Amino acid sequence: MKGPALFLAQFAGDEAPFNSWDGITAWAADCGYAGVQLPSWDGRLFDLDKAAESKDYCDEILGVARSNGVEVTELSTHLQGQLVAVHPAFDAGFDGFAATEVRDNPKARQAWAVEQVKKALSASKHMGIGAHATFSGALAWPYIYPWPQRAPGLVETAFDELAKRWRPILDHADSCGVDVCYEIHPGEDLHDGITFEMFLERVDNHPRCNMLYDPSHYVLQCLDYLDNIDIYKDRIRMFHVKDAEFNPTGRQGVYGGFQKWVDRAGRFRSLGDGDVDFASIFSKMAANDFDGWAVVEWECCLKHPEDGAREGAAFVRDHIIRVTERAFDDFADGGTDVAANRAMLGITS
């Protein structure tokens, strides 16, 4: 496992050092990070159109980062991926994610989003990056809790359509040699293991269809986030290190009562301040030979982001396990061979 790295989406801003690629990567390195995950939509940091067309531009981006002491771990299209599939109920809310020329036009917005994700995959190829972070979008999410009861075939139709929209993107990812890692996240149709499997089946177990593992989103769903690693270890290709806590009361539980983050039963917290058992997570990742980056995603309802970032770098560094190359009891190896083994077992013929 490589790290620590930091997802920059929550830190980019209009003030220095957060308003330029040079400034923010130097700041991340000063916080103790070895890598940064780059939000492809943020024009203050990155020109996606240019990156999709120009390897020289991508080399410049990589060069600036490396001169400041960090690697680019992955590109992200969370906002554009969301727009690949939007239920009409959310059109107004999500329109702000899109370019101005395609707003108020869901069909044009979807086509724009598909091209955006494809461009980011092409840019990833230019940068020598083998994994890409995104959201799946959602058509069925408004029907998550069945009242009135769902019409027969409604969910199946939604997932058929979702797969149809993503299949050309996954094929393009394959041509680029890049894994598409869907962040499994409430609000997306791919929000738990079962929904990921429903989608995976519909894209014919596409080799580029993979997971971004983030335990915080499982804590808030009361899902076993350690068992999830064992089940999906062959599809987990990306790791967001984010903490959360779940404190249900007699007044609210998983759904949060429409409250702001600080007043919800389920809350995101800075690393070490929540309930996630990261010692067990990092142990399982090490046992499974996860060779990607441990990327801090800071989202906390209480702590200042810059404090959370600096603490997060040290937290991840302390949890990454350097996997041993030999067994602890190798010193007692007797150097036996086949004949000796047979003799030890009393096999004489």
pLDDT, tens digit, 9 for 90 and up, residues 172-214: 999 999 999 999 999 999 999 999 999 999 999 999 999 999 9
pLDDT in tens, the chain (349 residues): 999 999 999 999 999 999 999 999 999 999 999 999 999 999 999 999 999 999 999 999 999 999 999 999 999 999 999 999 999 999 999 999 999 999 999 999 999 999 999 999 999 999 999 999 999 999 999 999 999 999 999 999 999 999 999 999 999 999 999 999 999 999 999 999 999 999 999 999 999 999 999 999 999 999 999 999 999 999 999 999 999 999 999 999 999 999 999 999 999 999 999 999 999 999 999 999 999 999 999 999 999 999 999 999 999 999 999 987 877 777 767 777 888 888 889 998 7
Gyration radius from the chain CA atoms:
22
Query: What is the per-residue pLDDT for 333?
Result: 77
Of residues 144, 137, 46, 32, the one with CA closest to residue 93: 137
Give dist(CA 243, CA 273) in Å, integer.
7
Question: Is 130:50 a contact under the CB 8 Å cutoff?
Answer: no
Which residue carries 């249900």 as its tokens?
Answer: 248
Question: Is 2:70 a contact under the CB 8 Å cutoff?
Answer: no
Give dist(CA 204, CA 226) in Å, integer.
26
Distances (CA, A) of 326 to 296, 320, 323: 30, 18, 9
Per residue in 111-167, pLDDT (tens digit) is: 999 999 999 999 999 999 999 999 999 999 999 999 999 999 999 999 999 999 999
Distances (CA, A) of 258 to 127, 224, 248, 264, 302: 42, 24, 14, 8, 18
Cβ contacts of 126 within 8 Å, gap of 6 or more: 51, 52, 54, 55, 58, 59
Which DSSP string do the residues of 95-124 spell out, in sequence order?
GGGS-GGGTT-HHHHHHHHHHHHHHHHHHH
Q: Which two tokens stand for residue 46?
A: 């990155």
Give dist(CA 211, CA 262) in Å, integer.
28
Query: What is the per-residue pLDDT for 327?
Result: 78
How do the domains of the chain map onto residue ranges?
A: 2-344
Calculated CA dihedral for residues 222, 223, 225, 226, nearest 10 degrees: 110
Which DSSP string do the residues of 26-63 spell out, in sequence order?
HHHHHHT-SEEEEETT-TTT--HHHHHH-HHHHHHHHH
What CATH code would you report for 2-344?
3.20.20.150
Query: What is the per-residue pLDDT for 253?
Result: 97
Query: What is the per-residue pLDDT for 325?
Result: 81
What 339-344 contacts at long range (C-beta under 8 Å, 24+ apart), as own/partner pairs, is none
